[in-house]
Amino acid sequence: MEFDSSPGESQGVSKAPPEAMSADLTKLGSHLISKIHVLMRVSLIYDAKNETFRQFSQESLQAVNALIQKERMVSLKILKNEIFLNEERLRYSADGFTSFKYVLTHWKKKLIGGVTFRELVDERVLNEFIFIFNSLEDGKEDNAARFTKRLADCGIDFVTVTPLEKSVSEEEDTSLEREDNREVAKKVFFETIGTVKDMITQIEGKQYPGVRKLKRLVQKTIHLAVEDESILLGLTTIKNYDEYTYNHSVNVSIYALALGRRLGFSRQMLTELGLTALFHDVGKSKIPKEVLNKPAGLDDEEWVLMKKHPLMGVETILNLKQLGEINPRMVIGIFDHHLKGDASGYPKLFRKKEISLFGRIIQIADVYDAMTTPRVYRKPWTPEQALAFMLRDRGKHLDPILLKVLIGLVGIFPIGSLVLLSTGELGIVFKPNADSKWMDRPQVILISRDQKGYVKKELADLMATNGGNQFKWSIIKTLDPTEYHIDIAKYFL
């Protein structure tokens, strides 16, 4: 594959893929889900006259009416494990995960698939809505019809409730979605993002939190990596514009842990490495947001500041509580993560020094994640392009042996790659082949759309044959998902 530009620059401004909802709507939508979540919980404890309840009910009202004012109506619909707002999939962030999960689970239990508000809502309407919902029994087929009728009995005819739709492909998805490990991994992943975010917020407010909670999460991640690493690697395809720094830190720690495991690190060493990776960019919390999020190139002065982040990171972790959990290896790892083999990196040193192993591991993980993440100012590189670039760059900047380990880890068709198959079907690489001899035959998710336009997913093992000695599918080439308007992360959630 040919490409000449260097990462981060000169790829032009990328258009948001059409699958993506506008940032504004996503924000309002996520806000609404979090308010509904709280109100649902509060309504189980208090009645409508209670002051606490009324306060939360007001907040939910504002959230729903803000959307109705903007969009004329609000329809929330549940399909499989996703919530659609006005027919578009609503993405959730690390913060929103618990609320999404709660609303999804409770609506599904009562077989409620959606609700539409066609006019502005007042306190009475919202209260009826919540308490009628609570009165429904779990698993009753006619709950939605009963719900709509009871609303109509109260004179509310502009709110409609629809039953949960069983999608045609739901059964086919069981192998992808009902795995316990996957659910646990998601929870740990989002909890780690949330914790990193909380810690950075505290550090920005000049408070220095402890590290024990994060350490426990790293230990859980290591446990999951031992069980099934491909689940974690799949989660790294979630690239979030708004939460970039936190998301990036967690992704880097997943890659670093996977590399560390292949180097035979003990659990203790892996825990240290995972924590170091989570903290590698913590120094950026001392850099003004305007500089950090600047869409175009930085000027000289801003670069000077930016290049201080490894050193400021060291300073920050030395100020954390529970300093006993931090050791020199970790401190040096953070300091080293932008040093280059040929001394062209930063911070500038008076004397050339060996880059520590933690530093080299994090560097590789960092570059790979940064290149494959879309930023406001550029399209992401595909995993294959990123690996090819890193290979070309090896020796000068990156540790060639670790780079080989990374390639062995993500495969020649890295998890999350969009591929064209010999049958003409499109697939997303889901899990590498356990046998390294067959690195070109991973498991892929075949994707197609049914007549209604819903995406169907089916798992295919590229080791499968046509009965004889011919393979059923082979990978022809990788494709750029942004050109096909495919949101890869969706297939790993």
Single out the segment in contact with Fe ion by CB under 5 A; choices: 39-47, 204-212, 288-296, 363-371. Answer: 363-371
Q: In this complex, which beta carbon is closest to Fe ion, that of residue 78 or of residue 332?
A: 332
Q: In this complex, which beta carbon is closest to Fe ion, that of residue 378 or of residue 431?
A: 378
Q: What is the DSSP string of 19-79?
A: TSPPHHHHHHHHHHHHHHHHHHHHTTTS-TT-HHHHHHHHHHHHHHHHHHHHHS-EEEEEE
Residue 388 Cβ vs Fe ion, minimum distance, rounded to whole Å: 21
Q: In this complex, which beta carbon is closest to Fe ion, that of residue 336 or of residue 384?
A: 336
Single out the segment in contact with Fe ion by CB under 5 A; choices: 17-25, 361-369, 392-400, 413-421. Answer: 361-369
The answer to whether the CB of 115 falls within 8 A of the CB of 122 is: no
Q: In this complex, which beta carbon is closest to Fe ion, that of residue 93 or of residue 247?
A: 247
Question: Given candidates 366, 384, 399, 487, which one binds Fe ion under the rule CB under 5 A?
Answer: 366
Q: What is the DSSP string of 244-290?
A: HHHHHHHHHHHHHHHHHHHTT--HHHHHHHHHHHHHTTGGGGGS-HH
Q: Which two tokens stand for residue 51?
A: 């002051």
Residue 477 Cβ vs Fe ion, minimum distance, rounded to whole Å: 30
Token pair 């203790």 in the structure block, residue: 268
Q: Which two tokens stand for residue 29?
A: 């939508």
Burial of 309 (0-12, 13-18, 19+ CB in 10 A): buried
Q: In this complex, which beta carbon is closest to Fe ion, that of residue 191 or of residue 281?
A: 281
Q: Tell me, what DSSP letter sits at residue 373?
A: S
Residue 198 Cβ vs Fe ion, minimum distance, rounded to whole Å: 19
Regarding 487 and contact with Fe ion (CB under 5 A), the answer is no
Residue 287 Cβ vs Fe ion, minimum distance, rounded to whole Å: 11
Q: In this complex, which beta carbon is closest to Fe ion, that of residue 371 or of residue 421?
A: 371
The answer to whether the CB of 42 falls within 8 A of the CB of 56 is: yes
Residue 337 Cβ vs Fe ion, minimum distance, rounded to whole Å: 6
Integer angstrom CA distances of residue 442 from 47, 209, 235:
54, 42, 17
Residues 280 and 277: their CA atoms lie apart, in Å, by 5
Total of residues contacting Fe ion (CB under 5 A) = 2
Residue 248 Cβ vs Fe ion, minimum distance, rounded to whole Å: 6
What are the beta bridge partners of residue 159?
117
Q: In this complex, which beta carbon is closest to Fe ion, that of residue 99 or of residue 276?
A: 276
Q: 175: closest CA among 446, 424, 426, 417?
A: 446
Sequence letter at residue 270: L
Q: In this complex, which beta carbon is closest to Fe ion, that of residue 128 or of residue 281?
A: 281
Which of the residues 35 through 64 are near Fe ion (CB under 5 A)?
none
Residue 338 Cβ vs Fe ion, minimum distance, rounded to whole Å: 6
Token pair 């609000």 in the structure block, residue: 74
Q: In this complex, which beta carbon is closest to Fe ion, that of residue 251 or of residue 271?
A: 251
Q: In this complex, which beta carbon is closest to Fe ion, that of residue 21 or of residue 277?
A: 277
CB environment 135-160: b (16+ within 10 A), e (fewer): ebeeeeeebbebbbebbeeeebeebb
Residues 464 and 13: their CA atoms lie apart, in Å, by 41
What are the beta bridge partners of residue 163?
112
Residue 222 Cβ vs Fe ion, minimum distance, rounded to whole Å: 21
Residue 310 Cβ vs Fe ion, minimum distance, rounded to whole Å: 6
**Where are the alpha helices (H) located in 90-138, listed in sequence order?**
97-109, 123-135
- In what order do the strands lie in the sheet containing 74-79? 88-89, 82-85, 74-79, 112-117, 159-163
Residue 453 Cβ vs Fe ion, minimum distance, rounded to whole Å: 38
Residues 167 and 185: their CA atoms lie apart, in Å, by 25
Single out the segment in contact with Fe ion by CB under 5 A; choices: 350-358, 359-367, 431-439, 478-486. Answer: 359-367
Q: In this complex, which beta carbon is closest to Fe ion, that of residue 366 or of residue 384?
A: 366
Residue 377 Cβ vs Fe ion, minimum distance, rounded to whole Å: 17
Residue 257 Cβ vs Fe ion, minimum distance, rounded to whole Å: 15
Which of the residues 267 through 296 are near Fe ion (CB under 5 A)?
281
Q: In this complex, which beta carbon is closest to Fe ion, that of residue 281 or of residue 487?
A: 281
- Contacts with Fe ion by CB under 5 A lie at 281, 366
